Structure 1
Amino acid sequence: EDIKNHERVCKLYTLGVPFHGWKTTNERVVYRDSLKNKRRRERSQSYLEDDDDDFDRIVETRSTDPHHHVAKVLQAKTIIDNEMGFVQPQNPNIQIPVVNNDG
């Protein structure tokens, strides 16, 4: 069991948090790495072979989004916080402030 847990944690740190887009709603893309995407398309024989979900991008998540969206962001945040040396809160019920830019 310790080995399985170790492999899972190592996979998260080496591959990052898996994200292929939200299945329930359209994602709000803030930024796409157009140069990297262009190189990927050039390596493909056809534009149809490129999966749009595989593109590097930054997506915006809001407090009004479904719970599983927020959970995915918090999963990534945990890894980032650990890498940056930030102390994790002892109380799991602590709310993370979110700025609402909807209007």
Structure 2
Amino acid sequence: MATGSPPSEFSIGLAGGGPPPRWLVLEDPSSPAGPRVLAETSRDRTNARFPVAVVEGFEARDVRVTASFRPVDGRVDQAAGLVVRYRDARNYYVARANALEDNVRLYHLVNGRRT
């Protein structure tokens, strides 16, 4: 994917409040997975804001998935995670790690409400 542009073949969504997320493909030569990374760059400070970027048309069962992330900025959250059972931006599960809270949690979003 071209750097400096939104990721192609991804569905972009938002649950919670705030303006639309701004996902971009960026260059990061220090990334262990390769020099291109996906970043949400809006710098919005809305609390309870859950931006997602999900690969379109991907379905799988009984798989093992891993991801690496590095929090770079954020005063409300510095978090990333893996989304599963995605129906839309307001209905899914996410295993989320948050650097500011120093935790990893599993959340279920139903109609945009996180539990």
TM-score normalized with structure 1 length: 0.26
Q: Which has the higher relative contact order, 1 or 2, with Cα contacts under 8 A spaced 6 or more apart? A: 1
Structure whose alpha-carbon radius of gyration is higher: 1
Query: TM-score scaled by structure 2?
Result: 0.24
